[in-house]
Amino acid sequence: MKWFVAAINLDGTTMSPFSGHSLVESIRTPYNQVCTKLHHESEICALVMESSTIDMPEHMCSERHQQTIIGDIRLDNRDVLLTRLTELHTRKTEYINDLDLALELILLHGINIVYDFVGEFAFVIWDKRERKAIAVRDHTGMRTLFWTQKQHTLWISSDLSLLKDVFSLEQINTDYLMDFYLYNGHMDKVNTPYDNVYRLPSASWLEVTVGSVYTNKYWNLYDQCEELRYRDVDEYESHFRELMVNAVKRRMTPSVKPAVMMSGGLDSTLLYGIARTEIPTQNTIPVCGVFDRWHECDEREYIYAVLDHYNSRDDAVFEVCDNYGTFHQFPNEYLWTYEPAVTAATASFTDSLIRCASTAGAKQIFTGYGSDHLLTGSLPTLADMLHSGKISLAVKEASQLASRYRLSTPKLLAYYGIGPLIGRGWSKELRKNKHSQFIEELKQIPSYNQQEYYQQFNGTMAHLFMDRVLAAKYGVTMQHPFLDRELVEFLFRVPGVVRFQGDMTKPLLRKSMGKYLPQQIIERKNKTGHLPLTHEGLKQVWNEVIQVASKGRIQILNILPHQEWLQALYKFRHGMVVREDMWVLLTLELWLYKLEEQIGVGLMH
């Protein structure tokens, strides 16, 4: 896990050094577990931090050619990028780290070279001669970057908490809160919860001088809408298998113990299978949440099938999670963060598994996050089938889906097949209450399958709470191979009929990954949920939640009247049909309550 914060005097005046101790405390990681390095020059002061031995902090800052680069960078296509250097630079390329490689490439080819970077990165470059700062964030938003400007000083950091001394918690940006609501909590826009503090969106670079601020989006997923046309399905499966294995391999760091947060589902067990088969020397630890009380949530049957397949039961770490319900020990143990997060409601479950992995010695933890978003397949593929005249195929797929989910075939076809073609059904719902910018982005995408995929891809930003908040407590790095840039782009271009089949979920994964998983997992059809745990958690803390939530702090957004909010809370408590936006509204309400605790002032007067 890495963090950094930098302050740059854009006008060239001398920058005073700042203290690192309070900044380390703000990331909630024990001070004695963090290596720090203070970088101070005339106009710039930066603090870089590293919580493990993956890369010491000196690999997070570098100075050469009157340029200073500060950041967190992992480049996965080094071999390709090294060919872009000149002969002058290639003498010692095997020793050049990713930070210096990125700087050299930008100096040679300009900032647009970052389009060709494959990996995860967030960094800032200070050009002393031109007195210009350029900050960059990776394509899929795996790393975060925030900034603010005080007179001629630019403050930029990997985490909002590291800017806490240069903005006020009381200056709430209600535009952000409304965006949070409209985007269902998946934030990747410029706004943050605080006035005059900004986020650099994913796949963007920022240029700041004394007199100007300019942001550019250098990559959009929807710029690559042309479908892949392979000869047969086997080629898609082979390509997927190659990308999936590479996505796991490139994230494995030699000499660092990895763990997989492993349930009994397809996704996490696949990551464990790839790790054990392709990188056996890493001794990957499976960390599994199990349930003694809630048998319908327990997946030990499938977990044991995988462990027995690899003869590795003795390697597994099990955590009984019966008591890690929704809003666990609210309000005392409900974690406040500088941004609200919908997943904070279930943080205790995820936190317990990260803690177990850390205790077992793991410094990086792999998850199957993103697979459900990008591999499940798109029901609106039915509309693409009808649009292209494949009526019998659409009816067949809809019939199989209806049988699997016990739904009506005509209603499925009407909502996902015919509806989108006439601006109704799924297509209308997708656009309802959404931000205008999102609607404009959807217009760039020709197929309904890809529109739904794009919506799902935008929803993957929820992983950042796990990565930057929960993992920070234990100093570990989270890895999500299913969100690998090359894999994301490939799946976006795969025809909907390959990624989606009515009689099978995730057909591309099931048909291509038999080498790594026992047949019991490949053929598994049911998916375990955690509803009993959710309801039990609500039951245990509901009196505390309702006491807090009934105040209706979300009234500042004018989304619904106070009485209607109270009625929604009552229905939610009793399991009745409730608003679709209930979780995001409750997230905002509880976050605002915890914010009041931080600032000591009530938001409602």
**108-142 tens-digit pLDDT:** 999 999 999 999 999 999 999 999 999 999 999 99
pLDDT score of 53 more than 60:
no
Comparing 134-138, 211-215, 233-237, 427-431, the range with the smallest average pLDDT is 427-431
Evaluate the omega torsion of the peptide bond into residue 331 and state whether it is cis, within 30 degrees of 0.
Answer: yes
What is the average per-residue pLDDT within 329-337? 88
- Output the pLDDT for position 333: 84
- Output the pLDDT for position 377: 86
Burial class (CB in 10 A: 0-12, 13-18, 19+), 593: buried
Cα(495)–Cα(583) distance, integer angstroms: 33
Q: Extract the tokens encoding 320.
A: 């009984």
What is the average per-residue pLDDT within 590-594? 95
State percent of the chain over pLDDT 90: 74
pLDDT score of 435 more than 80:
no
pLDDT score of 89 more than 80:
no
Mean pLDDT of the chain: 91
- Output the pLDDT for position 58: 67
What is the average per-residue pLDDT within 164-183? 93
Contact 121, 143 (CB under 8 A): yes
Beta partners for 47?
A: 5, 38
- Residue 262's closest CA among 365, 342, 355? 365
Between residues 526 and 522, which one has the greater pLDDT?
A: 522
- β-pairing, 204-208 vs 132-137, is antiparallel
**496-512 tens-digit pLDDT:** 999 988 888 999 999 99
Cα(378)–Cα(582) distance, integer angstroms: 24
- Output the pLDDT for position 57: 64
**pLDDT bucket at 265, cuts 50 / 70 / 90:** very high
Cα(493)–Cα(513) distance, integer angstroms: 20
Between residues 389 and 578, which one has the greater pLDDT?
A: 389
- Output the pLDDT for position 537: 84
Any idea what DSSP says for residue 225? -
- Output the pLDDT for position 592: 96
pLDDT score of 55 more than 60:
no
pLDDT score of 52 more than 70:
no
What is the average per-residue pLDDT within 92-105? 85
Cα(302)–Cα(293) distance, integer angstroms: 18
- Residue 446's closest CA among 492, 481, 377, 410? 492
Residue found by looking up tokens 């950094």 in the block: 4
Sheet of 477-479, strand order: 317-320, 285-290, 258-261, 364-366, 477-479
**1-34 tens-digit pLDDT:** 899 999 999 999 999 888 777 787 777 766 457 8
Amino acid at 431: R
Contact 188, 201 (CB under 8 A): yes
Any idea what DSSP says for residue 111? G
pLDDT score of 558 more than 50:
yes
CA 365 to chain centre: 14
- Output the pLDDT for position 31: 47
What is the average per-residue pLDDT within 211-221? 95
pLDDT score of 492 more than 70:
yes
φ, ψ for residue 542 (rounded to 5)? -60, -40
- Output the pLDDT for position 429: 87
pLDDT score of 536 more than 90:
no
- Residue 386's closest CA among 426, 415, 423, 413? 413
